[in-house]
Amino acid sequence: MIERIIIPEIIRAIKEKRIEEVKSIIAPLYPEDIATIVLDLSSPYEKVLVFRLIPAEKAIEVFENLEPESQKDILSFLSDEKVREILNEMAPDERTELFEEAPAELVKRLLSFLSPEQRKIAVEILGYPEDSVGRLVTPEFVQLYDDITVRDALEHVRAVGLDTEAVYYCYVLDRTKILIGFVSLKSLVLSSPETKIKDIMNREVIKVNVYTDREEAAQIFKKYDLLALPVVDKNDKLIGVVTFDDFVDVLEEEATEDFEKIAAVVPVDKPYMEAGLFEVVWKRSFWLFFLLVFESISGFVLQHYSASISRMVALTFFLPILIATGGNAGTQSATVVIRGLATGQIKPFGFFKVIIREASFGIFIGVIMAVCGLLRALFQQGNWLLSVSVGISMGLTIVMATTIGAFLPLVFKKFRLDPALMSGPLITTIVDVVGIAVYFEIANTLLALG
């Protein structure tokens, strides 16, 4: 990575007060690379100094590529005039992300720097629910009317295109501002200048309401392979568009959040290196404490079968592999189902089909693992009845584990809860308790220990 080579050079140059050298190092770089360098610098002083040296034509784009925490640090060191310039030139969706992460007092101050027009846009976007697609919208799009000619449309594109984030699609409105179609830039360029827009536009518009959940909107965007997604209000009037870069961020955030939940971690909103120690400790320990309490049930189960254990201590030799294999099988099923629900490959209404499918997998895998468990126990102890107990318990535990791993996420989805809450550790804990009880019941029956 280029920044690994450049950052040490920049830090040395800053320490030695060779400011012009720093400027010459960052000048030829792409804005995204400069933003990465700024984020990797350790002290706010270094971040601000480098940002001040960025060429003017790249400064806004670099700023938009920074994390909100770094953006706030830099703004606190800049003059009011520079803050005003940056905020007014930022894309509305990028500016909204900064405002979402800032304290209310700071947002109020930053809003005061905006022009009346930009302040109206910012306040309107911030008024939408936090997880709605309205928070991602940008009003910078090309709008056309259906009764104008291609010649007029191209003149309009030339006039506003440089200030528009999404110029590859032009959205067609009627005179009441209702979205009725769209036309691609390619169609405009290749059509006769006198052709009316209504004759070349596509009337089948894929759109979402401004209050649609952003994750749902991202799935629509992905399904139809779009470059931009128009967002309308309840009256079908076009509010703005959301572009692919915003949805990439949404999908990344949602995937990260799901992985954290699957690992029994309460999601942390900040980047890994910026999250506070106590915040991370609390969010990790919350689930661990809950699982500790729940896992203690297995201790009571073992206590219940203490007489059986005292008669044949060898039963305990195989508990670790039994509960570990069952937990792993349950986690596999839960992960596959949770991911399938997230990507839309599994539908909530296919409840019983998914359960039967995972249970079938569990039966086949259970038979294989039952044979492995039986041979493992026979090799270690040479006791056929004990080995059969281990094998049967292993098979049944895996069948139950795969069924539970599929069942619980689907139940959560049915009740409109996040399926990712059915974390791997939670599934493992449930399977541990059930698997231990099954194992000792089978052993008591076959070995006449009860």
Is residue 450 scored above 60 in pLDDT? no
Q: CA 158, CA 25: separation in Å to the nearest integer?
A: 35
Same domain flag for 199 and 119: no
Structural domains counted in the chain: 4
Q: Per-residue pLDDT averaged across 21-40, rounded?
A: 87
Q: CA 279, CA 48: separation in Å to the nearest integer?
A: 27
Alpha carbon of residue 223 to chain centroid: 17
Q: What integer pLDDT is reported at residue 171 of this predicted model?
A: 93
Q: What is the mean pLDDT of the chain?
A: 85
SS3 at position 103: coil
Same domain flag for 289 and 426: yes
With residue 282 as reference, give the H or E element that holds it: helix 277-304
Q: What integer pLDDT is reported at residue 265 of this predicted model?
A: 60
**pLDDT above 70: percentage of residues in the chain:** 92
pLDDT band at 272 (very low <50, low <70, confident <90, very high): low
- The number of CA neighbours under 13 Å toward the Cβ of 340 is 18
Q: What integer pLDDT is reported at residue 194 of this predicted model?
A: 92
Contact 219, 276 (CB under 8 A): no
Q: Is residue 343 part of a domain?
A: yes
Q: What integer pLDDT is reported at residue 179 of this predicted model?
A: 92
Type of residue at 262: I
pLDDT band at 443 (very low <50, low <70, confident <90, very high): confident
Same domain flag for 173 and 119: no
Q: What integer pLDDT is reported at residue 97 of this predicted model?
A: 87
Is residue 149 scored above 90 in pLDDT? yes
Q: What integer pLDDT is reported at residue 379 of this predicted model?
A: 87
Q: Per-residue pLDDT averaged across 268-284, rounded?
A: 66
Which CATH number does the domain housing residue 394 bear? 1.10.357.20
Q: Is residue 252 part of a domain?
A: no
Q: Is residue 195 part of a domain?
A: yes
Same domain flag for 349 and 438: yes
Q: Tens digits of per-residue pLDDT, 38-95?
A: 888 878 888 888 888 888 888 889 898 888 888 888 888 888 898 899 999 888 888 9
For residue 413, give the nearest of 316, 307, 339 by alpha carbon.
339
Same domain flag for 154 and 176: yes
Say if residue 349 is exposed, middle or buried (CB neighbours under 10 Å; 0-12, 13-18, 19+).
Answer: exposed
Q: What integer pLDDT is reported at residue 197 of this predicted model?
A: 92
Name which of 151-165, 197-211, 323-337, 341-355 the model is least confident about.
Answer: 341-355
Which CATH number does the domain housing residue 220 bear? 3.10.580.10
Q: What integer pLDDT is reported at residue 273 of this predicted model?
A: 59
Same domain flag for 123 and 146: no
Beta strands in 198-255 (DSSP E): 208-209, 228-232, 238-243
Same domain flag for 403 and 294: yes
pLDDT band at 209 (very low <50, low <70, confident <90, very high): very high
> Could you write out the DSSP letters of every residue in 27-66?
TTS-HHHHHHHHHH-SSHHHHHHHHHTS-HHHHHHHHHTS
With residue 124 as reference, give the H or E element that holds it: helix 116-126
Same domain flag for 315 and 372: yes
pLDDT band at 339 (very low <50, low <70, confident <90, very high): confident
Task: Give the global pTM.
Answer: 0.64
Same domain flag for 233 and 211: yes
Domain of 322 in residue numbering reads as: 272-447
Is residue 3 scored above 60 in pLDDT? no
Q: What integer pLDDT is reported at residue 230 of this predicted model?
A: 93
pLDDT band at 150 (very low <50, low <70, confident <90, very high): very high
SS3 at position 196: strand
For residue 70, give the nearest of 106, 43, 30 by alpha carbon.
43
Same domain flag for 178 and 278: no
Q: What integer pLDDT is reported at residue 191 of this predicted model?
A: 92
Q: Is residue 59 part of a domain?
A: yes
Q: What integer pLDDT is reported at residue 422 of this predicted model?
A: 59
Is residue 12 scored above 70 in pLDDT? yes
Same domain flag for 405 and 289: yes
Contacts of 413 (CB under 8 A, 6+ apart): 341, 348, 419
Q: Per-residue pLDDT averaged across 21-39, rounded?
A: 87
**pLDDT above 90: percentage of residues in the chain:** 19
Q: Is residue 262 part of a domain?
A: no
SS3 at position 113: coil
Q: What integer pLDDT is reported at residue 275 of this predicted model?
A: 65
Q: Tens digits of per-residue pLDDT, 112-124?
A: 999 999 999 998 9
Q: Tens digits of per-residue pLDDT, 295-308?
A: 788 888 888 888 88
For residue 261, give the nearest of 412, 384, 400 by alpha carbon.
412
Same domain flag for 21 and 123: no
Is residue 342 scored above 80 in pLDDT? no
Q: Is residue 132 part of a domain?
A: no
Contact 111, 186 (CB under 8 A): no
pLDDT band at 399 (very low <50, low <70, confident <90, very high): very high
Q: CA 440, CA 393: separation in Å to the nearest integer?
A: 9
Q: What integer pLDDT is reported at residue 232 of this predicted model?
A: 92
